[in-house]
Structure 1
Amino acid sequence: MSGFSIAKMRSLFRSGDAGAVDRIFQGLKTQYYEWPTTPLDARAIVERAVMQGVPFGDLETETHLHHRVACAFAQDGQEWLYTEADFYRADSLEVDLWRKVRKHGRPETRAFFRGLIEGVPLFGQGFPEEGEVYAAVPLTKLQFFQPGLIELRDLLAHRSGEEDPTARYASEFCGWVDEIIDAGLDLWYTTG
């Protein structure tokens, strides 16, 4: 989970910027040394997004390659605010905290976590059932969700004790969201 700018990322889509296609593709080539398909397939996704825009009306389920390309778009020309979320396993959120959110969270808090767990695709209509997901959450929505996250954190600490691993993770999670909000950034979440 990191802070970044959705506006910067979105400005690339349908921009027609051939230089952006080359730059993003080169970034992908240096970042990934193993490819599930050929690198040219990644370039085709980048080029289509930059030249035609997103989402792709004919794409139902995104692939691992789409995930990589989405991350490359999110990183292009950005100075990310990295949080310590990278030090946690994805299942800390997807299993442990999600169970508590479903039981104790407000409806909007449940919707926020569902968006992170299920992902919000850029290119297609959804993700494969077993695979990586990502989501971009605008600052204004983070600010809207923040009170519910704080309420959940406090409830879990009260019920389970602050040393309970899930309560501690909820507290850390709120801290990461606070960091991103304080920096005036949007949230980027990925499981890959």
Structure 2
Amino acid sequence: MMRTRTPCKGGTMLFNRDPEKAAQKAAVKAEKKQQRQEAAAQRQADKEALKEWRNAHPAEKTMNTAAMLKMWPSSTRGMTNLGPVKGGSAEFINAGAHKAWTATRLVAGAATLGVSAAATGRKNKGAAVINVTFGNGAAQTYTVKPEPAYLKDANQYVNAFNALAAQLASEEDAAS
């Protein structure tokens, strides 16, 4: 058996609405809608300003693309979560991470890992790191996987970081 609402005399529902409360709720709802619209407009303006800034600073785009899906800090208007890019520097240390077998590695691999490593052809890859120093003096070291795609991204990140730092420093000098 299903229950339904039945209209009262005059065809109105059983619920009587207080006109004052309804007006208050409508005013609050309209105010919240206005605030949401203003916040959306502000976000859109910020997004456009950031897009314009990044068009003038293409190194930041390159740096953020290289940092994507990695633990390296990305930048927004020259600021990372660890500090400003301006006044900072980055260096890429690739200690043979890209090199194949050499005689010394073969000997080292056989000496440390035994004959099985040499027999199976296991490569003893070197290490690669990125050393980043930010404008506030904070320094951080990030390890890089010894794979060509990661090494390429690391090199691209370091070059873009240094280019952005130089561009921001030259803009400050020009403004002074």
Scaled by the length of structure 2, the TM-score of the pair is: 0.34
Q: As a proportion of its length, which structure holds more strand? A: 2
The answer to which structure, 1 or 2, has the higher relative contact order (CA under 8 A, 6+ apart) is 1
Largest Rg, 1 or 2: 2
Q: As a proportion of its length, which structure holds more helix? A: 1
Scaled by the length of structure 1, the TM-score of the pair is: 0.32
